Amino acid sequence: MNCETLLDQISARCDAFRADLTAAAQNLRDFNRRLEQIIQQLHKDMAVRDEAFAGQFNQYCLDLRKKLDGDEPFWTQTRNQVRACKDADWTGDLALAAKGLNSRAKTLSRACDEFTTAYDAFYRRYTGFTASKLNVWLLTSCQNDAASLTGKILFLAREIAKKTERNRGPHVYG
């Protein structure tokens, strides 16, 4: 596989991962809102109206775990392919696409930060909630894995951008 095709694949998967994290953060904010309502109902000794919350939350965590586990082999293989490419293979004509990938990786990082913020808000609200069994440990694992993978993608994008920039040549700057 040549570097240009690899760069296109990385960019497309980076955008898909960002979309997944954005959706996951939005779902988590919705779960946080629902949990707040449940806690208020319990605090007022009212019957909890949202009986499906625990099942839906646990399914959300399982689906998120499957999605992250499904993406991991692609990113591992891609990082290995990028390492296998020689520095000279990252030609200067790929510099614009590499900068675009770097920008996409930064956007992905912001989406991961939003997911982490949603996770933190949910976890603060969840602390002390014992009315139902929630798989928050699985959500914590997903959040840690998403943050770790995002960091690796960001590093990979920066390395590719550096390599292409180095190969642009001195005539570009002058």
Higher-pLDDT residue of 174 and 94 is 94
Neighbours of 149 (CB within 10 A): 19
Q: Which pTM value belongs to this model?
A: 0.90
DSSP state of 87: G
Distance from C-alpha of 32 to C-alpha of 125, rounded to nearest angstrom:
7
pLDDT above 70 (res 172)? no
- Tell me what pLDDT residue 169 has: 66
- Tell me what pLDDT residue 72 has: 92
Model pLDDT for residues 95-145, shown as the tens digit of each residue: 899 999 999 999 999 999 999 999 999 999 998 787 778 899 999 999 999
- Tell me what pLDDT residue 133 has: 85
pLDDT above 90 (res 12)? yes
Instruction: Give me the numbers of helices (H) and strands (E) for the chain, helices first please.
Output: 4, 0
Q: Specify whether the CB–CB gap between 21 and 113 falls below 8 A.
A: no
What is the distance of C-alpha 6 from the center of its chain? 20
Q: Mean pLDDT in the chain?
A: 91
pLDDT above 60 (res 174)? no
